[in-house]
Chains A and B, each alone.
Chain A
Amino acid sequence: MKRLPVNRLSSRTSSAIIWIVLLTLPLWMRAVGSYTELGTQVVVLALAAMALNFLLGFTGTLSFGHAAYFGLGAYGAAMTIKYLVPSTPLAILVGMAAGTIAAMIIGALIVKLRGVYFAMVTIAFGQVFYFITFRWNTVTGGDDGLSGWHRIPLNLGFTTIDIEHDGKAFYYFVLLCFALSVGVMAFLLRSPFGRTLLAIRENERRARFLGIPIERHLWLSFVISCLFASVAGALYALLNNFTDPRALYWGQSGNFVIMAVLGGMRSFWGPLIGAAIFVVLQDYVSSHTENWMSFVGLFFVLVVLFFPRGVLGIIRRRTMR
């Protein structure tokens, strides 16, 4: 298998193909018997999985609690529109701030932990947020979730884009947020800072003795990762015009990990492929049987057993040999 240099995250060809598919998606989604919202869902969950993978695939640290920041983003956005200001961009910013601030505090408490201990504590903190949203009925709507609000059309001054009713317009709005987010992540990963994260992933002891303050860099990676997970959460709430405590449940964190590993956590676009497979399987299989998760699970096990580098790893091996 030919290997990409560390500075290159993905081949130009694969990036070009992915952008063409994403940009044209609403044009052919119906033709293949599907609907635009499904595409929007793929892009939103792909952002969450790629955000998780910033930490998992490129810093070598597993978080099992990213749903907490995803959910904080969702509740931040929903509560902004419901209680404060009817503005979609502001809702996203508030959701992002909520997730990021929480990540800054929790990150500082856990960066000394490693491996399974880190993962366990991220679950524990995630569940704290889950129970808060679950119990605090008056503010969060409790188990029923937060409804009775909807995303607001974008007012650009000279014109208004109706992302509320026009599914395609909302798709492209989400795609723009996605592009900005993954653009920033790719930019960071190619920088000297990004290389220190790869160094930590590859050999923490060596990285430490090369003068990299491991805890500080791990904290930064965690916060950046959670920041984009909370953007994804905010978009998810806007997509559904609704959010509930399941967005923060640790099962949701597990889904992000499954997407990342399924698609290939060592490749930049892997989690996007994983998210697409996950969402499409869920959509297709769940219309035939309630037990769709067992099919996702079976597929996951097969991939991990036979293709440990994920789906994108298989494709890359085929094409680059």
Chain B
Amino acid sequence: MSLLDVQNVSRHFGSLVAVNGVSLAVERGELRAVIGPNGAGKTTFFNLISGFFPPTSGRIVFDGVDVTQLPVHERVVMGMARTFQITEIFPEFSVRENLRIPVEVAAGYRLRPWMSHTDDGEMRARVVELMEMGGLTDKADRLVGELPHGDQRATEIMMALALKPRLLLLDEPTAGMGDQETYDITRLIRRLHKDQGLTIVLIEHDMRVIFHLADRIMVLAEGAVLAEGTPDQIANDERVQAAYLGKAA
């Protein structure tokens, strides 16, 4: 059984069909890339999976459970975490404070009015562990809003990871980054995928990143699936080339 099984979902905004009958099955431990020209419906598709809004039709099954109508926070509890194309963080909080919140939510403490010394120590330790993994230890007490874009991105990814997800949804994690930052983030994602066996679905524009990371690629164009396959199959697919070159021309 696939971890994520999206069945024929569509989403209409008035007369605009943003996503049109898309299906996607992601296996455990897989890293799947979703690519496509601008306006292909990639982010809308992500919003459907993560529960930002419900699909107009179709079903989303996560780990055997129909989550189509579930609110966002319940999907998070089930193990779905995401990042955004435009980084969503708490800019006026430090890195440590940014991570502390999801760590506590993941521990089931979101309604707790008190915390024991032991629990507090555990939460701190977990935050430290996440900062080390994300290469953020030396910036622990800096305000995230003052950090370079790459560090903000890393913080956002570690916040998602703090939720102990089984499925990580990354919406253009290298958008707007320089070469070095792109390299660092790519390496981080690769470690999460290879070392921790995390299942990841990734929207990305940078082809170097995609071919370096992805097990399989799904290509969206005008809201529908254009092609699906391994990186090599996609690279040699004439329809995909036409879709990209057609846009470029």
A interface residues with partner B (beta carbon < 8 Å):
3, 5-7, 187-188, 191-196, 198-199, 202-203, 205-214, 217, 220
Q: Give which listed residue, B76, B91, B104, contacts A192 with CB less than 8 A.
A: B104
User: Quick check: A193 and B112 within 8 Å, CB to CB?
Assistant: yes
**How far apart sit A217 and B73, CA to CA, in the bound complex (Å)?**
12
Q: Which residues of A contact B159 (CB under 8 A)?
A: 206, 210
Q: Give which listed residue, A7, A187, A203, contacts B113 with CB less than 8 A.
A: A187
Binary interface profile of B, 90-129, with partner A (CB < 8 Å = 1, else 0)?
Answer: 1111100100111011100111111100000000000000
Q: Which residues of A contact B92 (CB under 8 A)?
A: 202
Interface size counted on chain B using CB atoms at 8 A: 34
B247 to chain A, nearest CB (A): 30
Q: Find residues 38-90 in chain B having any chain A CB closer than 8 Å to their own CB.
A: 50, 71-73, 76-77, 81-82, 84, 88-90
Q: Give which listed residue, A195, A196, A205, A211, contacts B77 with CB less than 8 A.
A: A211
Q: Which residues of A contact B100 (CB under 8 A)?
A: 195
Q: Give which listed residue, B71, B73, B112, contacts A191 with CB less than 8 A.
A: B112
Which B residue's beta carbon lies closest to that of A206? B88
Q: Which 9 A-B pairs have the closest CB atoms?
A: A211-B76, A192-B109, A206-B88, A202-B90, A192-B104, A213-B73, A192-B112, A210-B102, A6-B97
Q: Which residues of B contact A195 (CB under 8 A)?
A: 97, 100-101, 104
* B143 at interface by CB-CB < 8 Å: yes
Q: Which residues of A contact B84 (CB under 8 A)?
A: 205, 209
Q: Can you spell out 6 A-B residue pairs with CB atoms less than 8 angstroms apart?
A: A5-B141, A192-B109, A193-B113, A202-B90, A202-B91, A208-B72
Q: Among the interface residues B50, B77, B88, which one has the most CB atoms of the partner chain A within 10 A?
A: B88
Which B residue's beta carbon lies closest to that of A6? B97
Known A6-B97, A203-B89; judge A209-B50 contact (CB<8 A). yes
User: Quick check: B114 and A191 within 8 Å, CB to CB?
Assistant: yes
